[in-house]
Amino acid sequence: MKTKNIIKSLLCLCLFTAIISCSVEDGEQGIQGEQGIQGEQGEQGDPGTANVMYSDWMDQDWNFADGTTFKTMLVENENINDSFLENGGIVLGFFRYQDNVPYTLPYQDFLHNTIRTCLPVHFTDYGQIRFNIQSTDGTTLTDDEVNGTGAGINAQYKYVLIPGGTPLTGAKTANQWKQLSYKEVCKALNIPE
């Protein structure tokens, strides 16, 4: 009988302790501790921006169309597909006659009556980038118009793929990206020139 009384007493004591501990309020917030020592600067990361892709400069090769008034170089890239473009992906194209003078495409040369363009063409599982030069007045393209004149290099092309993602307020639109110079795009996306 004593054992039952002891067990009842212990149970009552546990119940009483649980009730009291639940009803006690927390104290006031303590003062903040001192600021810790600043850590060392981390290593510089690789150049580039997350998921941005870009090609090397490519010599022109009229492998798709090589007419007298219209020429097309086709470059295949599996990253340009339905998903890339439907989710806001942007393709930027550039060309240059000399190492230090890149132009953003499309580029119209009114002196020579030509226009250069860059068009992404996508299929279900891969895509193409088509670099074109076209005579705007119907005359035959000359070697100088196609290749450039003077010292330096023949015309070369480059493209940049900027994947879409979550739209941000204040983010650049496709048209705003296309209006930037080559140097501005490289600076914004940490692309080596």
Over residues 138-164, mean pLDDT:
86
Q: What does the alpha-carbon distance between residue 73 and residue 157 come to, in Å, rounded to a whole number?
A: 9
**Pick from 15, 116, 11, 110: nearest CA to 60:** 116
Q: Which domains does the chain have, with CATH numbers?
A: 53-189 (2.60.40)
Quick check: 12 and 6 in contact, CB under 8 A? no
- Token couple for 147: 């290749």
What's the chain's average pLDDT?
Answer: 79
pTM of the model: 0.63
pLDDT of res. 76: 93
Q: 190 has which bridge partners?
A: none
Q: Report whether pLDDT(135) > 50.
A: yes
DSSP, collapsed to helix, strand or coil, labels residue 139 as coil
Over residues 57-63, mean pLDDT:
94
Q: Of 3-12, 43-52, 80-89, which range is least confident?
A: 3-12
Question: Please, is 129 exposed, middle or buried when counting C-beta atoms within 10 Å of its C-beta (0-12, 13-18, 19+)?
Answer: buried
The bridge status of strand 58-59 relative to strand 107-109 is unpaired
pLDDT in tens, 153-189: 788 999 999 888 655 455 666 677 777 787 887 787 7
